[in-house]
Every structure is written in structure tokens, then in C-alpha cells.
Structure 1
């Protein structure tokens, strides 16, 4: 499936501040970038490539303290949409190094607080069947309410409030899976069925030797999501980071089927 992305960011930065951006589609298996263009008006750019292709950031220094960004891309997604129930989990001693960090608690995914909750609700299941049940539980238990959470909301806050947005759904799925011994990471991306259109967040779990996307909001599937980046939680993959305050002017995300 070919998807087209058109993103506009417009922020006023504090005098002398720089911006870290993470908005470009990742170059990874399952998605092929057919063409892309990034324009940041009046900016000096430096790409901060990392060892992990899902940790690619751009450092932008603008001359007039205004960050005006336009990103457009066409991406062909070839990722298979496999049924989670068919996938087996791996014991810890069989996990690769890339998966091990995602067994641990993080700032927004305090998985060490969810042991009893996971045991009570999902102990009768294993592997992908357990993850599928977690996804369905989160999707049914939470109400999608824009503005119901903020930058400090953790997965435990979401569990207690029973409402949130995509980042909160993803944090809760990651916390459940990690508490059960299944590596899970937070993924940012773009999807044509995300409502309202915005940057989207899903979970990704390690099963049968690979990563598999899990969206408890139901707004995307593995074959309709363009992945930007992945990390322990939302703090690792923010689309915009600045050292000081940035004043919002405009944020527009449009993703469509070609």
C-alpha cells in the first residue's frame, strides 16, 4: 500500500535555541520510501544518525527563532499483518540484545507496578494470544478522550483514569506486556485512518524473533502504519524537542492512501 504524508510544523523558539526533530519515515524493513522532501525555512540542519534506524533525528538551528517546517513523503508499506494469536513468545535467555531493554520499566511505562494486574487478567494466556487479549482489554476499557492526559501522564495514571489518547493506549499495552516478560516498545508513526489526523502512537512487541505492531486504539494496522521511530516510551521519540519553551503556531498532519 502506498501512503502519502504531508506535515507542517510552525513554532516560535526561544532566542538562540535549537530544535530536535523526529518526523521522517524510518528506512526499515516493511516500508520503502519512494520519495521525500524536508524543508525547514532558513535553518542550518544536521542529521544525527544513530546505530538504530528507528532513532534518527535532525538538529535544526534557525536564524530568526521561528521553526517553519514542511515534510512530504510517499511510502510503500509492505509489512504483513499477522494474527498475534499465532505468535509465540521467547524466554529471556533466547532474546536478542535489541529486545532486552524493552523488558524494563521506564518513566511512562512503570511495568513493575502491573505484575498483579497482569497476573489476574492474563495469566491463563501465553505469547501472542496474551498480547492480543491485552490489546483488546485496553481498547475496551479506555475511552479515547482528546485532552484527557498531559505530558506527565503515566500508564498507571491511564489505568486508573480509564481514558486517554493514543500515547496512553500504547504506554498501557507496553506496561502490560513488559510485566508479563514480553519485550514491548513505544512506536511513533503516521496512519491514514488516525482521527483526528496527527502523529500516532502504537506499541510493538517481540514475538517469534521479530517486532510486531499492536494498536489498541484500532486506528491503524501493521500494513497501514508508517513508522517514524521507537523507544522505551514517548519520551524517546518526541517529534519536537527544545531546551527552552517553544510557542505553538501550527501543526498539521495529513496522511492519505495514494
Structure 2
């Protein structure tokens, strides 16, 4: 499947005129970026590797306080839908060293506080069946509510309120999987079924000795998601970081399947 992406942003980033961007689609074995342009007005750009070596980020130093960018890409996605039930979890002592961090609690995912709950609710299951049960529990208990959370909302907050957006769904899945001793990482992405259109958050869980992609919000199947970056939680992969408080001016995200191209492409 070919996915067309068209993103435009405008923010006041302050006198430093500096921003670290994470908006570019990653090149992976299951998604190939065939066309791509990143235009940032009056800026010098420097590319670096993304968190955990996944994808890439771009430093933009702007001549002035206003950052204006447009990112356009066409991405061929060949990822198959995930069937969780038949997948196995690796013994903890056989995990690769770089996965240990994704078992631990993090800033927005206090997984250590959910081990008793996870054992009670899902302890009778293992591997992919356990993850499938966690996803089903999340989708049955949470209500998608855009006004219910903000950038400071944590797993504890979402578990209590039972409301949130894709970011909160992803934190809850990461936290409950880690509490169940299954590595999980937060993934930033684009998806054509996201409504309303915006940057999206999904999850990788480590099963069958590889990362399996899941959208706990249920909006997008794995075979139409375009991945950008991955980390422990939302703090690791924001679409933009600035040394000073950034002020919103304008933002537009358009993601379409190949038969419905974004305006302006």
C-alpha cells in the first residue's frame, strides 16, 4: 500500500530559533520512502539518527523566531497485519541487551505500579494471547476523548480517568505489557484512518523475537501505518522539541492512501 503524507507546521520557537524535528518517515524493511521533501523556511538543517537508531531527526536552526516547514512523502508499506494469538514471548534472560530498557518504567509509563494488576487480570495468559487480552481490555475500558488529556498526562492518570487520545492508549499498552514482562516501546506514526488527522501514536511489543506493531486505539491496521520514531514513551519521540517554549501558529497533517492524494501534493 502506498501512503501519501503532507505536513505543514508553523510555530514561534523563540529567540534561539532552534528546533529538533521528528516528522520524517523511517526507512525500514516493511516501509520504503520512495519520495520525500522536507522544506524549512530560512533554516540550516542537520540530520541525526533517531532514538534507538530508529528513523532520523533533524535539527533546524531558523533565521528568526518563526519555524515554518512542509514535509511531503510517498511511502510504500508492505507490512502484514499482526496476528497476536500465535506469537510467543521470549524468556527474560534471553532478551537482547538493548531491549531491557523497554521493560522498565519511564516518565509517562509507570509500569512498576501495575505488576499486581497485570498479574491478576492477564497472568493466566502468555505471549501474544496476553498482549491481545491487554489490547481488548484497553479498548473496552477507555473512551477516546481529545479534551481529556494533555502533554503531562501519564499512565496513572489515564488508568484513573479511563479517557484519552492515541498517546494515552499507547502509554497504557506499553505500561501493561512491561508490567507483564514483555518489552514494549512507544512509536510515533502517520495513519490515513486517524480521525481527526494528526500525528499518531502506536506501540511495538516484542514477540517471536521481533517487534510487532499494534494500534491500541483501533484506528489503523498495521499494514497502513507509516512509522517515524520509537522510544520509551512520548517524551522520547515528540514531533518537535525546542529549548524555549514553542507557541502554536498553524499545523496541518494530511495522510492518505494512494487513491486519495493530499491537496497540494
Say whether the 8 Å CA contact 1:187–1:202 is kept in structure 2: yes
Aligned length in residues:
258
| 1:188-214 superposed Cα distances (whole Å, 9 cap, x missing partner) | 000000011000001110001100111
Say whether the 8 Å CA contact 1:27–1:53 is kept in structure 2: no
Partner of 1:170: 170
- Bigger mean CA deviation after superposition, 51-60 or 174-183: 51-60
1:105 to 2:102 alignment: no
Partner of 2:244: 244
C-alpha distance in 1, partners of 2:179/2:51? 27
| 1:118-145 superposed Cα distances (whole Å, 9 cap, x missing partner) | 1111111100000011011101100000
Partner of 2:263: none
Say whether the 8 Å CA contact 1:17–1:243 is kept in structure 2: no
C-alpha distance in 2, partners of 1:151/1:194? 19
Say whether the 8 Å CA contact 2:27–2:55 is kept in structure 1: no
1:86 to 2:86 alignment: yes
Deviation at 1:71, TM superposition (A): 0.2
Deviation at 1:12, TM superposition (A): 1.0
| 1:226-258 superposed Cα distances (whole Å, 9 cap, x missing partner) | 000000000000001001111101111000010
Mark the runs of 5 or more structure 1 residues left unpaired by the alignment.
Answer: none
Matches within 5 A, 1:194-233: 194-233=194-233
C-alpha distance in 1, partners of 2:254/2:210? 29
Deviation at 1:82, TM superposition (A): 2.4
TM-score with structure 1 setting the length: 0.98
Equivalent residue of 1:34, what SS?
A: strand
Deviation at 1:159, TM superposition (A): 0.4
Partner of 2:139: 139
Matches within 5 A, 1:37-52: 37-49=37-49, 52=52
Deviation at 1:52, TM superposition (A): 3.9
Say whether the 8 Å CA contact 2:79–2:223 is kept in structure 1: yes
Partner of 2:179: 179
| 1:2-46 superposed Cα distances (whole Å, 9 cap, x missing partner) | 000000010012112300000000011210111100000110111
C-alpha distance in 2, partners of 1:83/1:253? 29
Say whether the 8 Å CA contact 1:17–1:244 is kept in structure 2: no
Equivalent residue of 1:197, what SS?
A: coil
Equivalent residue of 1:114, what SS?
A: helix
Partner of 2:153: 153
- Bigger mean CA deviation after superposition, 209-218 or 163-172: 209-218
C-alpha distance in 1, partners of 2:158/2:203? 15
Partner of 1:72: 72
Equivalent residue of 1:6, what SS?
A: strand
C-alpha distance in 2, partners of 1:214/1:16? 38
Say whether the 8 Å CA contact 1:48–1:56 is kept in structure 2: yes
Structure 1 stretches of at least 4 aligned residues deviating more than 4 Å after TM superposition: none
